[in-house]
Amino acid sequence: MSKKNAVIGQSGGPTSVINQSLVGVIEEVAKSSHIDELFGARHGVRGIINESFIPLKGQPGELLEKIAITPAAALGSTRDKPDAEYCQKIFASFKKHDVHYFFYIGGNDSADTARIVNELAKKEGYELQVFHIPKTIDNDLRVHDHCPGFGSAAKFVASAMRGDNFDNKSLPGIKIDVIMGRNAGFLTAASVLARLHDEDGPHLIYVPEAPLSEEKFLADVDAVYSKRGRCLIAVSEGLMNPTTKKTWTESLLTNLDKDAHGNVQLAGTGALGDCMANLCLTRLTPAGGKKLRVRADTFGYLQRSFPGFLSEVDANEAREVGRAAVLHSKAKGVSGSVAMKRISDSPYKIELFLTPLETVARETKHLDPAFIAGGNNITRAFIDYAAPLVGPLPVVGAFEEMR
């Protein structure tokens, strides 16, 4: 069997475990008999057309293990979305370097890139097997039960919220925490895992799938604050306004960045949190006329890049989907996206399988309506779904009298 070369790239917003998948591929390629050299494309498809490669075979195992636990894309990432001309350049590069296997780690946009490259290769009769390896903290890939990267980001969010619940109890007031997730509320929903007792925050959870008016928001906060003297709120950066059908952030900012995929940049700004805090300050009047204490935090890029705080399950699965992609590539002519299927919640058990690229590309998945309650809460069904992916959260304790 003649060996052929492979390229691997990382794309889109990185995660804390995207390098686990990279290392999984590197390890499995080292054991394989069908792949010769493995080129790491610097900054995704851009590295392919610029022929900017890092040879990955023979990298020392000790370094690879360090890289595996390092957040963000060790090869660099990109937001480029290849069109037909771009793909021609990719082929030219692949041909030049005898590349017949392409592993692309990314989300739905990256799956779409993989799909386009694969289809153009077929059209041109160039023998190429393309594998999409999933990663996204948004957890919004169709077909996939869940996505590597989500569990660790969810662990960060739920832990941060668990700590913030105690901070909010210490100095009571209204606290708004803005969580990543442009179209899907999985990560925001994961804040529910912070709760240990009924009285624990987050007391209100708002996801993009349940559009929220200013009036409902204020009424919700008022109800919680009146009952508990405090209110901890988890809100998705992609929160929608039911009237304008736009995100709250889009209504606030006029000059938002858009990437090559047309995605509006909602992260990296404190505007939504500040707006919601301001609404509370100006429109709510607590009993007794005391001035409200209102604060907002935007968890920001830490959700995907905080080091040393991984979900173990997530890290292991990210490694395994990388390995599986290489194993699937042994079968001639096969391409696809490596997906996880859940066999059972308890004990938690998954199976890997290959799904066609087009089933994952482009459109995203949303929270199951059964996961959302009353437009401001998350259900037990979601907890059962998400808890095994996140693993144990930091242990905390409180005096009975202070709960």
CB of 380 to a copy of itself, least distance (A): 23
Q: Which of 13, 106, 151, 322 binds a copy of itself (CB under 8 A)?
A: 13
* Nearer CB in complex with a copy of itself: 166/348: 166
Residue in 80, 109, 112, 138 annotated catalytic:
138
Under rule CB under 8 A, which residues in 200-239 are in contact with a copy of itself? none
Distances (CA, A) of 252 to 15, 221, 272, 285: 28, 21, 8, 24
CB of 221 to a copy of itself, least distance (A): 16
- Number of residues engaging a copy of itself in binding (CB under 8 A): 73
Under rule CB under 8 A, which residues in 246-265 are in contact with a copy of itself? 255, 257, 265
383, with CB counted inside 10 A (0-12, 13-18, 19+), is: middle
Under rule CB under 8 A, which residues in 369-398 are in contact with a copy of itself? 393-398
* Nearer CB in complex with a copy of itself: 184/310: 310
Residue with token string 């529910």 = 192
Cα-to-chain-centroid distance, residue 325: 20
16 with 153: CB under 8 angstroms?
A: yes
267 with 180: CB under 8 angstroms?
A: yes
CB of 67 to a copy of itself, least distance (A): 4
Nearest of 234, 54, 71 to residue 157 by alpha carbon: 234
Q: Which stretch binds a copy of itself (CB under 8 A): 83-91, 235-243, 270-278, 337-345?
A: 270-278
Q: Is 14 in the site for a copy of itself (CB under 8 A)?
A: yes
DSSP 364: B
d(CA 346, CA 331): 33
Q: Is 268 in the site for a copy of itself (CB under 8 A)?
A: yes
338 with 325: CB under 8 angstroms?
A: yes
Q: Which of 6, 9, 10, 136 binds a copy of itself (CB under 8 A)?
A: 10
DSSP 182: S
Q: Is 273 in the site for a copy of itself (CB under 8 A)?
A: yes
Q: Which of 9, 24, 40, 149 binds a copy of itself (CB under 8 A)?
A: 40
Under rule CB under 8 A, which residues in 56-95 are in contact with a copy of itself? 59, 63-67, 69-79
Q: Is 193 in the site for a copy of itself (CB under 8 A)?
A: no
Peptide linkage before 388 cis (omega within 30 of 0): no
E strands, 107-242, are 129-134, 174-179, 204-206, 231-236
d(CA 343, CA 346): 9
Say whether 247 sits in a helix, a strand or coil: strand
* Nearer CB in complex with a copy of itself: 162/182: 162
CB of 10 to a copy of itself, least distance (A): 8
Nearest of 20, 60, 72 to residue 318 by alpha carbon: 20
| Cβ-based neighbour number of residue 369 at 10 Å | 10
The amino acid that residue 106 corresponds to is G
Q: Is 36 in the site for a copy of itself (CB under 8 A)?
A: no
Q: Is 188 in the site for a copy of itself (CB under 8 A)?
A: no
Q: Which stretch binds a copy of itself (CB under 8 A): 8-16, 239-247, 347-355, 382-390?
A: 8-16
Q: Is 170 in the site for a copy of itself (CB under 8 A)?
A: yes
Element (H, E) at 31: helix 18-31
249 with 256: CB under 8 angstroms?
A: yes
CB of 125 to a copy of itself, least distance (A): 33
Nearest of 226, 222, 236, 159 to residue 196 by alpha carbon: 159
Q: Which of 271, 279, 284, 381 binds a copy of itself (CB under 8 A)?
A: 271
Site string for a copy of itself, 290-329 (x = CB under 8 A): -x-xxxxxxxxxx-xxxxxx--------------------
* Nearer CB in complex with a copy of itself: 227/341: 227
Q: Is 138 known to be catalytic? A: yes
Residues with catalytic annotation?
Answer: 138
